[in-house]
């Protein structure tokens, strides 16, 4: 059994606490239900106000929105907010439309992260040799460029599903030790699946990167879901898409592999909102676990 597999550890996601404040000149809204900021300004809301979470808001026509003082882009009345692994818990959303405005202080759900040890990696995958540094730097640039555009589509408002079914073998946020050496936290969710298993687009989008041989990621595909929401799929065996392809939810984009820094076939799915790294497990509905096989019928009594 490959060593990268580790026990999934799910934290119970606590209910979000939303506090409403009144300030001079700002309309007061009180929110009876936690996690619900429906108001004059918000028609619908999905997602989790949590570290690692992504929240999609459907705004009433003409509403403008800012997060901590920064205006957020809106397309087709939708906007999206994301929170990184260690995002500060106090966040402030402000809505305006004409003369009306509302300020909504939000307290994110705090996460705690586990420690994951991965041993048995080739030493060059833990500390890359000098000769590989130029290649790693160039690939870093390529990745940043592929996530830099502001594609004005609201594909992120489509419900996300799991790109592959399988057992979760690594969770978001874990502090990682490779062959005993501390490295960056793990920002993806690992789903164990046999090599060659089809990987499908979890939501619609456009392919902004399709590289078969990245140093750490191996086969790597990025899908841009609009307004800086990007999915990344790593360690792919084969790629079915090219840069520029527009994909629908469920389209086959690649197959599962064990390329790059990997010790066994699995899909590592990551999500970004600009520079913030999101937890796909908070974005996708349900669980990626395949249904358990039906239990065998009772043997007939003699």
Q: Which of 18, 37, 102, 190 binds Zn ion (CB under 5 A)?
A: 190
- Cα atoms in the Cβ-side hemisphere of radius 13 Å centred on 267: 30
Q: Which of 188, 205, 257, 265 binds Zn ion (CB under 5 A)?
A: 188
Cβ distance to Zn ion smaller for residue 93 or 234:
234
Shortest Å, Cβ 190 to Zn ion: 4
For residue 5, CA distances in Å to 118, 190, 193, 240, 245 come to: 9, 9, 11, 26, 33
- The bridge status of strand 218-224 relative to strand 229-239 is antiparallel
Q: Which of 153, 237, 268, 279 binds Zn ion (CB under 5 A)?
A: 268
Q: How far apart are the first and last CA of the chain?
A: 40
Q: Does 279 bind Zn ion (CB under 5 A)?
A: no
Cβ distance to Zn ion smaller for residue 94 or 111:
111
Shortest Å, Cβ 221 to Zn ion: 15
Q: CB neighbours (10 Å) of residue 28? A: 10
> What is the footprint of Zn ion within residues 152-181 (CB under 5 A)?
170
Cβ distance to Zn ion smaller for residue 128 or 185:
185
Tell which residue, 63, 28, 15, has the closest CA to residue 42: 63
Contact present, 215 and 134 (Cβ < 8 Å): no
Cβ distance to Zn ion smaller for residue 156 or 178:
178
Contact present, 234 and 191 (Cβ < 8 Å): no
Q: Residues in contact with Zn ion, total (CB under 5 A)? A: 4
Instruction: Write out the residues near Zn ion by the rule CB under 5 A.
Output: 170, 188, 190, 268
């Amino acid at each position: 059994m490959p060593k990268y597999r580790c026990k999934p550890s799910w934290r119970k996601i606590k209910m979000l606490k939303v506090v409403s404040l009144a300030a001079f000149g700002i309309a007061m809204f009180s929110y009876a239900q936690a996690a619900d900021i429906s108001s004059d300004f918000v028609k619908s809301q999905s997602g989790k106000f949590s570290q690692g979470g992504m929240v999609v808001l459907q705004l009433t026509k003409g509403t403008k929105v800012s997060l901590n003082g920064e205006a957020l882009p809106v397309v087709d009345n939708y906007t999206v907010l994301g929170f990184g692994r260690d995002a500060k818990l106090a966040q402030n959303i402000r809505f305006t439309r004409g003369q009306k405005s509302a300020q909504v202080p939000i307290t994110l759900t705090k996460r705690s992260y586990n420690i994951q040890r991965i041993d048995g990696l080739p030493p060059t995958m833990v500390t890359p040799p000098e000769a590989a540094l130029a290649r790693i730097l160039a690939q870093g640039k390529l990745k940043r460029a592929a996530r830099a555009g502001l594609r004005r589509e609201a594909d992120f408002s489509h419900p996300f599903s799991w790109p592959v079914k399988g057992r979760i073998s690594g969770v978001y946020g874990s502090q990682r030790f490779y062959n005993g050496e501390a490295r960056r936290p793990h920002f993806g969710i690992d789903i164990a699946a046999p090599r060659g298993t089809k990987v499908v687009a979890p939501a619609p989008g456009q392919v902004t990167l399709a590289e078969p041989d990245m140093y750490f990621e191996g086969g790597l595909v990025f899908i841009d879901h609009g307004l800086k929401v990007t999915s990344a799929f790593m360690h792919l065996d084969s790629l079915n898409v090219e840069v520029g392809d527009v994909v629908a939810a469920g389209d086959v984009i690649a197959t599962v592999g064990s390329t790059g820094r990997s010790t066994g076939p699995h899909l590592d799915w990551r999500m970004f909102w600009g520079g913030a790294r999101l937890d796909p497990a908070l974005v996708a509905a349900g669980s990626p676990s395949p249904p358990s096989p039906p239990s065998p019928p009772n043997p007939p009594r003699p």
